[in-house]
Chain A
Amino acid sequence: MENKTKEFKHLEKWQKTLANCIRCGYCYEHCPMFKYTGWESDAPRAKIITAFGLLSGEVEPSESVSQKMFSCFYCKRCEAACSSGVALTDIFTDAKKDLVEMDLKGPGTTSTTKLTCARCLICLKACPHEARSYDGKNIVVDPVKCQACGICIEVCPAGAATIQNSFGTDRNMLMDRASNFFSTHEAAKAIIFACNWSYYPDLQASVLPDAETRDKNYEILVNMCGGRLEPQLLMAPFLYNAWGVMAAVCPEDKCDHKGNVRAKKTIESLKNTFKSIDIDPERVRLVEIKAGDKAKFKAEIDTFMDNLNKMGPIR
């Protein structure tokens, strides 16, 4: 087939890389999109194949193409897993630039602002990627700059900052899952929130038999970025008599969204609240996990659970 690259001036430079991707699919192992929908077309390899198709002319730029390209949390799990060193998210960003120029701005995971926006401009300040601006009338989101960290959603006092498709990571969905875990597991004691970077030792896409999970006493919920941990979410498990809540974030300078700094502050203030009402502040705990350090994550969970077992239930 003939090359047809003229309309893709940003994507064009990846031509060779797209050929060098061996299409092994290793990148979709723990992609939160793929894990949530189970469709291969939502996995990172699919975006790479699509990018190739756009360049070769086999794929027509369309709404559904941009929907795919713009759906990414930039957690970079795919890059860490790639067998061939492909810079996936840089490729996605360039594809997004070209699609935007064709007026194909996919909503994807990007936050948009609804009519309810109070124009307080808090989200502008909170956005770590300068993706939000104010044009004098409305908040404008730059879909290329936005990395779907979701911080704006959590800070918006009017609930006006939203995400089109959260792939199971928004506050309400996580709260539902926490509630569901406690109502279906007698031994349930804790919820562990983990940003997708902290490499949770979890199944990829398979489901275990009941007999294997019945005695589980904690559940790991992926909240994408530590920056999205708000008191309401962290407190939700206590509604169901949780013994404790742990959150895993990236180490000091490693978070692309500075979400770990926010998380630290949030957890500190929760600890203070616990102290003031005579509840052991160690029931909420923040740990820093280097990307890919499964062993440390597991060890931290074990220590936390041991501690909780010593403390016993709150009630």
Chain B
Amino acid sequence: MKTIDEEKLRQIVGDANIKTDPSDLYIYGSDSSVHHAMPWAVVRPKTTEQVQAVMRYANENLIPVIARGGGSGMCGQTVPVRGGIILDMKGMNKILEINLKDVYCRVEPGVVDDDLNLALKPHGMFFPPTPASSRIATIGGEIANNASGVRSVKYGATRDAVLGMKVVLPNGDLVNLGARTRVEASGYQLHKLMVGSEGTLGIVVEATLSFVPIPEFRCMGIANFNTLKDAGEAIGSIMASGAIPSMLELVDDVAIKAVNKTMNLGLKEVAAALIFEADGMVREAVDYEINKMKAICQKHNGEDIYASYDPKERDKIFLGRKSLFPALSKYDDNLASTALADDMAVPYSKMAEMAGKIHEIADKYGIVMTAYGHCGSGCMHTKILMDTKRKDQWESARKAITEVYDYVRSVNGTTSAEHGIGLSKAESFKIEKADSLHLLALIKKAVDPNNILNPGKLSQAPEDWVTATNLRYSVNS
């Protein structure tokens, strides 16, 4: 381990904002992924100047720096593979301005997504990218991961809501990227380059975000399908019809059974269910969208089709989807629900085939995999349930994942729709982006010549994710 000048860091952020005890470092060595590695120090800056000073120190001494928001990344984005300083950005947690006239807000990176939405709500506004993890995910983490969520099918991902930002570069310089206006024509869109950069290019210290009005009406519907193929075709038809769903979610039979088994929800155990939603300011317009989607589901042999405006009914419809996480965790005492190969995207016409492929591969390797997700944005989620103590299950998972991604790329899909690449998905990412990897490397070299910002991630990550770090699970030898 390289030595760090703890005293120097203390001078920059103050005694109250640094942790070096091994028991603290151990905690900051993990996130929501399967990975774990020890950092050398955790530093919590409160101001842009402090971030700049830490970066200057780290750059001069070639010490890795990893920005960390809520630590809810699922692929090891914040796990310090090469050690270094964790910059805990949750110390910069102020909502700086809510500007209703110019329709933007300015926030520090540690602001929690749900908190921002709580602040916007009294003004009748919301910040739409909202990932499922919005209760802990920070704006900085959402920007660095280009997070998106159930409503992104209509409102877009984080990238679409970012107007501009202030970024501290690896050498400590502060730059203003983007603008405060809705449109900006020419020049490289550097603020958009920061979106999805996973902390490898700069530290976001302030973001200017757009927001939208909360719709007056929301209507949610559900349709059951006896084959995955029918459900998949319904998705394709809905998206091709010009309908504008504000949500379009798929859950497969494994997911439905898991929810029934652990929560006793008594859902009909069909091959797949689609949950759809439309929203808007005028009820007739919402009706129009919902009716269109209902008709399409019917045409594709959807059954028990039903929709409601009533918030309680909507909650009921969504309950199966919402209960999925706990259901999978409790599915079988011996199986843990791991965050692996969990968020690929494929073209609409391939959704059903993708889900089928997931089942086929899971069967082949003796693991349990579900298929569910924001199919309206082409995003397919899965979770791998396996006995994490067994080494052979990790081998099976490794093979299964490789096959899943081979399929995804073969149909022009992409490795990660929303959770990012980090460590776990580097193998497939590198194959997918093979012809542009050198450009990524050139950009990285130009911005971060000493390679101190989150090194060993994305295109620098090792191919084999199983051995990239210690696993967060105990595995019997």
Contact = CB atoms under 8 A, between A and B. Distances in A.
Contacts of A201: 118
Contacts of B23: 41, 50, 59, 62, 64-65, 68
Contact of B27 (A21, A46, A208): A46
A65, A209, A211: which has the most chain B beta carbons within 10 Å?
A209
Contact of B72 (A16, A24, A41, A56): A24
Contacts of B470: 1, 58
B115 A203 contact: yes
Interface string A1-35: 11100000000000110011111111011000000
B475 to A, nearest CB: 7
B26 A24 contact: no
A183 interface: no
Given A1-B474, A56-B474, A64-B23, A206 B112 contact: yes
A58 B26 CA distance: 8
A25 B72 contact: yes
Contact of A25 (B44, B70, B98): B70
Interface in A31-85: 38-41, 46, 49-50, 52-53, 55-56, 58-60, 62, 64-65, 68, 81-85
A106 B333 CA distance: 32
Interface stretch (B144-152, B217-225, B302-310, B322-330): B322-330
Contact of A38 (B36, B44, B329, B336): B44
Interface string B149-184: 000000000000000000000000000000000000
B72 A206 contact: no
Q: Which of A24, A41, A64, A83 has the largest number of chain B CB atoms within 10 A?
A: A24
Contact of B96 (A29, A203, A209): A209
A205 B135 CA distance: 10
Given A85-B330, A209-B98, A20 B337 contact: yes
B275 to A, nearest CB: 19
B91 A38 contact: yes
A53 B21 CA distance: 14
A135 interface: no
A25 B68 CA distance: 13
A278 interface: no
Q: Interface majority SS on A: helix, strand, loop or mixed?
A: loop
A39 B86 CA distance: 12
A299 interface: no
Given A16-B334, A56-B474, A40 B329 contact: no
Contact of A206 (B44, B95, B473): B95
Interface in B84-98: 88, 90-91, 93-98
Contacts of B31: 23
Contacts of A307: none
Contacts of A22: 32, 325, 329, 336-337, 339
Contacts of A277: none
Interface in B10-40: 19, 21-24, 26-28, 30-33, 36
Nearest to A24: B32
A85 B326 contact: yes
In this complex, the interface size class of chain B, counting residues with CB under 8 Å from chain A, is 35 or more
Interface residues of A, number: 48
Contacts of A208: 95, 119
Interface in A215-263: none
A144 B371 CA distance: 43
B30 A49 contact: yes
Nearest to B116: A206
Contact of B71 (A25, A38, A204): A25
A91 to B, nearest CB: 15
B89 to A, nearest CB: 11
Contacts of B388: 19
A204 B474 contact: no
A84 to B, nearest CB: 3
B261 interface: no
A101 interface: no
A64 B325 contact: no
Interface in B65-123: 70-72, 88, 90-91, 93-98, 110-112, 114-116, 118-119
Given A23-B472, A38-B90, A205-B93, A29 B21 contact: no
Contacts of A15: 474
B474 A26 contact: no
Q: Which of B388, B474, B475 has the most CB of A within 10 A?
A: B474
Contacts of A24: 32, 72, 133, 136, 325
A83 B19 CA distance: 28
Contacts of B330: 20, 84-85
A188 B325 CA distance: 42
Nearest to A58: B26
B477 interface: yes
Nearest to A55: B474
Most A Cβ at <10 Å: residue of B23, B36, B96: B23
A19 B32 contact: no
Interface string B196-216: 000000000000000000000
A23 B72 CA distance: 8
Interface in B339-363: 339
A47 to B, nearest CB: 9
8 contacts: A3-B476, A38-B91, A50-B26, A83-B326, A205-B112, A206-B119, A207-B94, A209-B98
Interface of B: 19, 21-24, 26-28, 30-33, 36, 42, 44, 70-72, 88, 90-91, 93-98, 110-112, 114-116, 118-119, 133, 135-136, 325-326, 329-330, 333-334, 336-337, 339, 388-389, 470, 472-477
The 5 closest A-B pairs by CB, nearest first: A84-B329, A206-B115, A46-B27, A206-B111, A83-B325
